[in-house]
Amino acid sequence: MPELPEVETVCRGISPILTGKKVVTLKIRQNKLRWLVPESLNELVGQTINAIQRRAKYILLITDNGTVIIHLGMSGRLSIVPRELKPTIHDHVDIIIADGNCLRLHDHRRFGAILWTRTDPYEHKLLCDLGPEPFSNNFTADYLYASSRKGKVAIKTWLMNGHVVAGIGNIYANEALHMAGILPLTIISNISKPRYQTLIHCVQEVLNAAIAQGGTTLRDFLSSSGNLGYFTQQLKVYGRGGLPCLTCGTILQTTQIQNRQTVYCYKCQK
């Protein structure tokens, strides 16, 4: 389901409902997610959720004594439901709060994860080596230019690497590269600093637009309240292989990069 805009949409949706609330019950129906749901997650019961934060595609529920780290993988969904709503297949974890609401984790592919850490979540193994957030001051052309000088990977592969920049997945990598006019297979060491500056601008523009539209719904993304994401209607290249480029009319090409569907316009992107 989620790239950064979808995760951000979920965080904004659940934050007002969960912040300041006490967890009264935890129900785990399936503990084989990407990693086993740890026994220690039970320490969440009785804790008050002080804040909801997002880092890359991770969702953090912060309490005084520890933090829940949630990742939605490819197909995960978080929703707020009344605690009495009967769970369906693939509803793996319920976090029930004092007012009767329930944060329900649904994930049919089980690539997602839910973990508990007692210490600073930003020091957690999964989070400590992540690249800068796309909207942070550290995501600069100087940074991209300097760290790409010896690299031999395609720019699209690199953009999707969370250790380079956080939160960009297949959809928004395709979209940002099209907007920036850069061919997805371009080797990173061949890209100039001004082009990286353009790319940063385009990444931010695409992500901002997607967040404003509540994310992208392709198959199963719904916001925490069950709404569709409307950015789907604004995708310029993703899922449009074989159709005309919306900028110049040239037929959009498709290829595989790292086994991921890649769509580009050979006229607009050089």
Partner DNA sequence: AAAGACACCTGTCCGC
Partner DNA sequence: TGCGGACAGGTGTCTT
One-letter amino acid of 215:
G
Q: Which of 57, 77, 156, 195 is catalytic?
A: 57
57 interacts with DNA by CB under 7 A? yes
Helix, strand or coil, per DSSP, at residue 212 = helix
Could you tell me the smallest distance in angstroms from the CB atom of residue 9 to DNA? 9
The contact mask relative to DNA for 181-220 (x = CB under 7 A, - = no) is: ----------------------------------xxxxxx
Q: Is 2 a catalytic residue?
A: yes
Instruction: Using only the alpha carbons of the chain, give its radius of gyration.
Output: 20
Q: Which two three-digit tokens encode residue 247? A: 């900028």
Q: With respect to DNA, which residue has the nearer C-beta, 118 or 163?
A: 163
Vertex 78 angle, CA 9 and 27, to 5°: 150
The values of phi and psi at residue 257, to 5°, are -125, 120
109 interacts with DNA by CB under 7 A? yes
User: Do residues 97 and 23 make contact, with C-beta atoms less than 8 angstroms apart?
Assistant: yes
DSSP per-residue letters across 130-144: ----TTSTT--HHHH
Q: Which of 27, 83, 110, 201 binds DNA (CB under 7 A)?
A: 110
Annotated catalytic sites, by residue? 2-3, 57, 260
Question: Rule CB under 7 A: which residues touch DNA?
Answer: 1-3, 6, 32, 34, 56-57, 71, 73-75, 89-90, 108-111, 126, 150-154, 157, 160, 162-163, 169-171, 215-221, 229, 258-261
